[in-house]
Structure 1
Amino acid sequence: MTYNTAALAGLIRPGTRIALGDGIGMPRSVLPEMAAAARAAGDVKLITGWVPQATAELDLTAYADVRTIMGGWGLRRAIEAGTVHAPPLRLSAVPALLAGPWRPDIVVVTAVPRSDGSLGFGTEVAWLPAAIAAGATIAAVVNSNRPRCDVGPSLPPDRLVVVGESQEAPMSLTFTPATDAHRTMAEKVVARIPEGARLQVGPGALGGAVLDAVRKPVTIDSGLLPEAVTDLDRRGLVCGDPVATYLAGGPALLDWADGRPLLHHLGHTHDATRLSSGIPLVAVNTAIEIDEQGQVNVEGFPGAAVGGVGGHGDYAVAATRSVGGLSIIAMVSEHHGRPTLVDRLSAPVSTPGHDVDVLVTERGAVDLRGLDRTERARAIRSLWDR
């Protein structure tokens, strides 16, 4: 690893707002130099995105203010401690925020060499083009040890400063294995997916179980692309090239993704009009709590930051508008002995109940479409009364 410490320090001045490239490809190796430059300058602000795992290189104390696009995950403890601010934020709203009150001066990214000699993104695209469009200077750590699967334009050379080179591998992201309950729910979910439909799944055990249970061809159109898609492709059940904005897996996914046109910016992946138009969209997400109206909590409990709003609401609302599509919430009926159906959510509503078409638990499934509030409550409670 080699770094041009002077080039990085020259970009960071008092009051600078830095946006840090996120996902499994976060440029972790440059973070100590970035923190040192921030401390020396003073009053430097930091914006983070999806941080999948806690990383020792990310010294949050070096910054006057830290805010994140996505709560929970690797920032969970820092959010709980009040070190990081996690506003309720749909991913589709991030480009507007970056063009407004969160406009960054610098965006620090991992840049991957392309065959034509230019540089692009690697394991994530997400909101980074929006930060660049907002006028941020690109501080790039060049790394050829990343897949080439970004379909966007090359990084603009007139706005780019190479601050280092690295062969650091991306984070390897794994999830808790699926349980019998996840597999039972997955079977109920896939029974509702039309052949050829576009399918969005969230990360984790449920998303993996759903992809494992698919038995007919689907088009993957999802914010995060999990590793289970590689097996789906091996079975010949992936129609065309998946659409995503983050890779969420390990070496097998990275090898499979290399050379495929997969990753798009948020303005494309999370655009409600695109998602709700054309081929039916089935969005499959989970929740940590739900109330009898179908209102969903994905963010956490008092004093415990589990996750963020992220793309949950974006895909849910688009799927409810998709002719032939469905917004499905699949969740276990209890967690650590505590029912997941509650009278009152432990946190504000993450996704409203009218953006939930079908609710699935390991006990059964109910279709909530067209039901009034009394009928919805009765249908939802029936899953916990069985």
Structure 2
Amino acid sequence: MSAVKDRASTRIRCPALLEKIMSAEDAAALIDTGTTVGMSGFTGSGYPKAVPQALAARIKAQHAAGRAFRLRVWTGASTGPELDGALAAADGIEFRLPYNSDPVAREKINSGQMEYFDMHLSQVAPMAWQGFLGPLDTALIEVAGIAADGSLIASSSVGNNKTWLDRASQVILEVNRWQDPALDGMHDIYYGTALPPHRRPIPLVHPGDRIGEPHLRCDPAKIVAIVETDAPDRNLPFTEPDVAARGIAGHLLEFYRHEVAKGRLPATLLPLQSGVGNITNAVMSALLDGPFEGMTAFTEVIQDGMLDLLSAGKVEIASATGFSLSREAAARLNAEMARFRNKIILRPQEISNHPELIRRLGCLAMNGLIEADIYGNVNSTHIMGSRIYNGIGGSGDFARNAYISIFMTPSTARGGAISAIVPQASHVDHITQDVQVIVTEQGLADLRGLSPKQRAEVIIANCAHPRYRPALMDYYTRARQGSYGQQSPSLLKEALSWHQRFIETGSMLA
């Protein structure tokens, strides 16, 4: 044990906690079936990696012995295969919130074997404090280190860690040596939130404002185990932007130039928010060659493109709650962490996604979609209306409160078999009132100030693929003639027929 303590002491500088060091298997044994575990992790960064795998092995052994063992799992957002994938494959998750992108867990959810509560990310911490989600038994949190006073140096994401540490009955820590020690000082943990009627304005008026503390607080009496690890975050490669991604980025940059020329945006733009994915990452890359300087970001996630903008000095400061980087970008960040530490602030997601702050700062929200209908309702979570793909994440937090709410997608999917622009969205996550701009490689539809019928004509003309445009126009024309009402003309028998045709034939084309 002394050798383990000596080895860990570079990251665990609180002598009183050294006696809590144990194996991942011993730590996993402290988690009981039927309990709720709040785990760290946001978009594949800063999630525990060793204990969940040990827990999955324990669950498999329990199942093999004929004993039930399942958990309720809360996180910040998506995690990695060592957590969601391992526990889902072991059939160890009974209930999951607030976001999932793991393919194994997705299949369990869509087959009805796992209950899933898809939430706005800004609402998770408040609902946990309000008690609506029930008690939290264990917090399982990855950290980069433990300071001499027992405070915790957060890892590559903050997410809901502050809330889990405060609410949980017991705490298990993974101290990951892979995480760069220079992360210390990058975090800003704000402890000023409260429940009604005691809420006060959050004192943040610029993305670069620091309003909290550099470390997470944790009652040392609640810490029951510390596991030392040395494992990388999940790194997903970003593909080279294709023709569609470059087209979308080009249309959006031209839109920003136009808004600046009209005086509706400053030359530095307003704080950028970008969802996760290749399309939004391509937009960030395009901004690298654009005319805008002195930009800022108030977003959820730092991706490769944002890191490039920070490195080039195009973006001066970026506020987020975690990273989502390729392997190459993660290596570059770790190699230059001391330099980036002054340009990046990582906050709890109840702050990074807070509606009050998004509205105050006037963010430019750029998020992806699965489909949009001709009136601008957006589906960002479900395939053909009933199969969950990922989750709403923070897109709703930003879309409703942004200065400009933008949704982007290629105009077709599955080799042209699916149109991203449909007569009626099969599931609605963002109502038409929260969607101001839609962009595909075909063009950009500025929907601000337009009535539903005006929106339909602009979306069909600018965003739909030419292969689907005549059918959309035909539907819209007939809807105007035969609809029950004329505010948002609809043919109820046909509105979802494109989705049914795809399910039956494999294509939306007639």
| Contact 1:292 1:342 (8 Å CA) reproduced | yes
Structure 1 segments (4+ residues) deviating >6 Å:
none
Secondary structure at 2:116 match in 1: coil
Query: Is 2:72 the counterpart of 1:46?
Result: yes
Matched, 1:239 2:316: yes
Residue 131 of structure 2 is aligned to residue 123 of structure 1: no
1:375 paired with 2:402, answer no
The answer for the alignment partner of 2:354 in structure 1 is 271
What's 2:126 paired with? Answer: 96
Match of 1:183 among 227, 246, 251: 246
Q: Aligned-pair distance for 1:116?
A: 5.0
**Aligned partners of 1:7 and 1:64: how far apart in 2?**
18
Alpha-carbon distance between aligned partners in 2 of 1:354 and 1:174, rounded to the nearest angstrom: 34
- Please, which of 134, 137, 148 is the counterpart of residue 105 of structure 1? 137
Q: Out of 142, 154, 158, which is 2:221 matched to? A: 158
Residue 248 of structure 1, CA deviation: 0.3
Is this contact kept in 1: 2:119–2:392, CA < 8 A?
Answer: yes
* Pairwise CA distance, 1:318: 1.2
Partner of 1:248: 324
CA drift of 1:44 comes to 4.6
Aligned mates of 1:87, 1:231 — CA distance in 2: 34
Q: Which has the higher contact order (CA 8 A, sep 6+)?
A: 1
Q: Which deviates more, 43-52 or 326-335?
A: 43-52
Tell me by how many angstroms 1:272 deviates: 0.8
Following the alignment from structure 1 to structure 2, what is the Cα–Cα distance between the partners of residues 136 and 381?
Answer: 54
Greater displacement, 46-55 / 178-187: 46-55
| Aligned 8 A contact 1:288 1:331 in 2 | yes
Which letter maps to 1:28?
K
Structure 2 residue 372 is matched with structure 1 residue 290: yes
C-alpha distance in structure 1 between counterparts of 2:24 and 2:442, whole Å? 57
State the shift of 1:287 in Å: 0.6
Letter in 2 for 1:363: Q
Matched, 1:309 2:392: yes
Q: Which protein has the bigger helix share?
A: 2
Identity within the alignment, %? 24
Could you say which residue in structure 2 is the equivalent of 1:360? 439
What is the identity, as a one-letter code, of the residue corresponding to 1:150? H
The answer on whether the counterparts of 1:47 and 1:69 sit within 8 Å (CA) in structure 2 is: no
Tell me the SS of whatever aligns to 1:178: coil
> Does the CA contact (< 8 Å) of 2:24 and 2:50 recur in 1?
no
Deviating more after overlay: 110-119 vs 96-105: 110-119
Q: Does the alignment pair 1:213 with 2:286?
A: yes
Mean alpha-carbon deviation: is it higher for 293-302 or for 265-274? Answer: 293-302
Contact 1:8 1:163 in 2 (8 A): no
Q: Which moved more, 1:269-278 or 1:168-177?
A: 168-177
Q: Distance in 2 between matches of 1:362 and 1:250?
A: 25
1:174 is paired with a residue whose SS is coil
Deviating more after overlay: 357-366 vs 250-259: 250-259
Deviations 1:283-306 (A, max 9, x none): 111111001111111112146432
Q: CA deviation at 1:220?
A: 1.3
Unaligned segments of structure 1, at least 5 residues: 320-324
Let me know the Cα RMSD of the aligned residues: 2.6
The structure that has the greater radius of gyration is 2
Query: 1:247: Cα distance to partner?
Result: 0.6
Aligned residue for 1:145, secondary structure, equals coil
Structure 1 equivalent of residue 406 of structure 2: 328
TM-score when normalising by structure 1 = 0.88
Q: Which runs of 5 or more residues in structure 2 are unaligned?
A: 5-21, 190-214, 257-264, 471-510
Per the TM alignment, residue 73 of structure 1 is displaced from its structure 2 partner at its CA by 3.9
Given that 2:165 and 2:171 are in contact with CA atoms closer than 8 Å, whether structure 1 keeps it comes out as yes
Aligned equivalents of 1:341, 1:134: Cα separation in 2:
43
Secondary structure of the residue aligned to 1:191 is: helix
CA shift for structure 1 position 238: 0.9
Whole-angstrom CA distance in 1 between matches of 2:146 and 2:244? 44
Would the aligned equivalents of 1:220 and 1:238 in 2 still touch at CA under 8 Å?
yes
Number of matched residues? Answer: 377
Are the structure 2 counterparts of residues 165 and 373 from structure 1 closer, same or farther at C-alpha, using a change threshold of 3 Å?
same
